[in-house]
């Protein structure tokens, strides 16, 4: 994955056929894991905190639905265009942020589904097919996140 060109707000990324296919599959099948309720405080457990926590989890569930819509939009809007040499993905700043949130949702969701291990390395020799799939999804999402941020930073750092 590399940055092909930047045209104002729109950034065009060049992906090879495998990368394009994998990214499309990630978007198409998002979300891969269920919503796991989160705590709003590590210490406080008063009535205000409980109410805040409820609101937070409702808001996160709603946000996830919105991300799902955005994931569908990214595929439907023909953001991926195959060219002779590569697949071109065009994103504006908002779409880039959305894609990053989707990717990290996949990454963190898989990590949680794996039981929140202390390392993201796979050490278990006898892991199940599902564990292996989640592990690979987590790494794949990380791969795209790393490149999206790196390419953006490299380019904005030049100006």
Partner 1 sequence: MSSVVEPVTLPKPVIKKTPKSDDDLAPTFYVVCWNDPVNLMVYVTHVFMKIFGWNKQKAEKHMMEVHEKGKSVLVREGAEKAEFYVHQLQNYKLHATMELAE
End-to-end CA distance of the chain: 21
118 binds partner 1 (CB under 8 A): yes
CB of 46 to partner 1, least distance (A): 9
Locate 34 and state its tokens. Answer: 């269920």
63 binds partner 1 (CB under 8 A): yes
Stretch that binds partner 1, among 11-19, 40-48, 81-89, 128-136 (CB under 8 A): 40-48
39 binds partner 1 (CB under 8 A): yes
Rounding to the nearest 10 degrees, give the CA dihedral for residues 59, 114, 17, 103: 20
Locate 124 and state its tokens. Answer: 């278990």
Q: Which of 80, 105, 113, 151 binds partner 1 (CB under 8 A)?
A: 105
In the sheet where 80-82 sits, what is the strand order?
2-7, 10-15, 87-91, 80-82
Locate 129 and state its tokens. Answer: 């097919």
Please give the residue ranges that form the binding site for partner 1 (CB under 8 A): 38-44, 48, 52, 55-56, 59-60, 63, 97, 100-101, 104-105, 107-108, 111, 116-120, 138, 142, 145-146, 149-150, 153
């Amino acid at each position: 994955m590399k940055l092909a060109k930047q045209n104002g707000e729109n950034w065009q990324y060049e992906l090879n056929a495998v990368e394009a296919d994998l990214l499309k599959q990630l978007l198409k099948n998002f979300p891969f894991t269920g919503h796991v309720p989160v705590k709003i405080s590590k210490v406080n457990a008063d009535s205000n905190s409980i109410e805040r926590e409820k609101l937070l989890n409702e808001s996160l569930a709603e946000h996830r639905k919105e991300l799902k819509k955005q994931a569908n939009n990214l595929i439907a809007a023909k953001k991926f265009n195959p060219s002779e040499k590569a697949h071109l993905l065009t994103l504006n700043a908002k779409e880039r942020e959305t894609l990053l949130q989707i990717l990290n949702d996949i990454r963190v969701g898989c990590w949680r589904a794996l039981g929140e291990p202390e390392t993201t390395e796979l050490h278990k020799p006898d892991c199940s097919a599902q564990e292996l799939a989640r592990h690979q999804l987590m790494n794949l999402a990380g791969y795209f996140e790393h490149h999206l941020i790196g390419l953006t930073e490299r380019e904005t750092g030049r100006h």
